[in-house]
Amino acid sequence: MRRAEEGLLMLTCALGQAVQPLTPAEYRYLSERVHRFLRIDPEQELTTEHLLSIGYRMSEAERIVALLDREDALHRYLESEDVGIMTRLDPKYPQGLRRLNHAPLVLFYKGERALFDSRCVALVGARKASEASIRFAARIGELAAKEGFTLVSGGAVGADQAAQRACLKAGGRVICFVPDALKRYQTMPNVLFCSDEGFDCEFSASRALRRNHFIHAMGEKVFVAACLKPSGGTWSGTSYNLNHNLCEVYVFDDGMAGTAALLRRNCTAVDESLHSIADLMPEQLSIFD
């Protein structure tokens, strides 16, 4: 790992310590000011004097330097679990995630890293999905496996797990963005578990919501198996996709209020009779509509 990547980790990850790392916004601000005003090598040590010279207060500069003075803690943290790490500085960082303004600065993962480079479709849906929605989710998992797509989902009970189980049973591959501690997940064949915060971070509602954006960004197409109402994680992630044109969105029409609202936003309706993912095309608006 390059020194610049180690610096990124020390600045933005707690590393199991009771410290307050930089937020993504704070890191971007620091990066912009360093590149704009400091002509130093990326591998060179950043000092308090450097930071004061580009407008930081002493307390802010000391906080940043203290975060960077944690090499021993970083190495202990990285050696404590069988977890891989990829930063945005890595050329192999997933291209889908790079499209996001708030893409994870660091990805922690367990499993087959090569799945990041595969063609993906995504599946999202409510935890309390109907039986029909569960069947549809499983159908998407089966089709993904059959057609050579990696399925991206969030591992939640309900639609997510139904799709993932069906995909793996059919010999497919799964990328799962987890909302809780990555270290709890056992390595499995054909599965890549991912987290945007350290491998020991517990569940939080903000992480659970944020990972929906990552799931949408990774997919060439996204399938919404169930959206009970126009609120919550499924709605939030899909709305973000639609607002930023991340990829095509297909919705299982289960008659729920959330589903109806998505269809009014020009998502394409699909049902259990779907026979191919690759052949799907989004609805085109006509001048006569």
User: 215: domain CATH number?
Assistant: 3.40.50.450
Q: Residue 10 belongs to what domain range? A: 3-80
Last residue of a domain, one of 40, 57, 80: 80
Question: Cα dist. 238→25, 125, 215, 235 in Å?
Answer: 23, 10, 10, 5
218 and 171, same structural domain?
yes
Q: Assess if residue 281 is contained within a domain.
A: no
List 150's β-bridge partners, or say none. 120, 173
Q: Assess if residue 104 is contained within a domain.
A: no
What integer pLDDT is reported at residue 197 of this predicted model? 80
201 and 130, same structural domain?
yes
Structure tokens of 125? 């849906």
**Residue 186 CA, distance from chain mean position:** 19
Q: Assess if residue 289 is contained within a domain.
A: no
What integer pLDDT is reported at residue 202 of this predicted model? 86
CB neighbours of residue 85 within 10 Å = 17
162 and 25, same structural domain?
no
115 and 64, same structural domain?
no
Q: Assess if residue 191 is contained within a domain.
A: yes
What integer pLDDT is reported at residue 207 of this predicted model? 84
- Dist CA 68 CA 124 (whole Å): 38
Sites in the chain below the pLDDT cut of 50: 284-289
115 and 245, same structural domain?
yes
- Hey, CA dihedral for 16, 19, 25, 27, is it positive or negative? negative
Question: Cα dist. 33→25, 37, 51, 62, 112 in Å?
Answer: 12, 6, 9, 16, 36
Pairing of strands 173-177, 150-153: parallel
255 and 123, same structural domain?
yes
Q: Assess if residue 39 is contained within a domain.
A: yes
Closest Cα partner for 77 from 6, 16, 133? 16
238 and 169, same structural domain?
yes
125 and 75, same structural domain?
no
Closest Cα partner for 73 from 153, 138, 24, 17? 17
173 and 73, same structural domain?
no
Q: Supply the pTM of this predicted model.
A: 0.90
- Dist CA 223 CA 136 (whole Å): 9
287 secondary structure, DSSP code: T
List 110's β-bridge partners, or say none. 193
Q: Assess if residue 286 is contained within a domain.
A: no
255 and 181, same structural domain?
yes
* Total domains in the fold of the chain: 2
Q: Assess if residue 37 is contained within a domain.
A: yes
Question: Cα dist. 286→47, 61, 189 in Å?
Answer: 60, 57, 45
192 and 73, same structural domain?
no
68 and 127, same structural domain?
no
Q: Assess if residue 85 is contained within a domain.
A: no
What integer pLDDT is reported at residue 287 of this predicted model? 41
What integer pLDDT is reported at residue 152 of this predicted model? 99
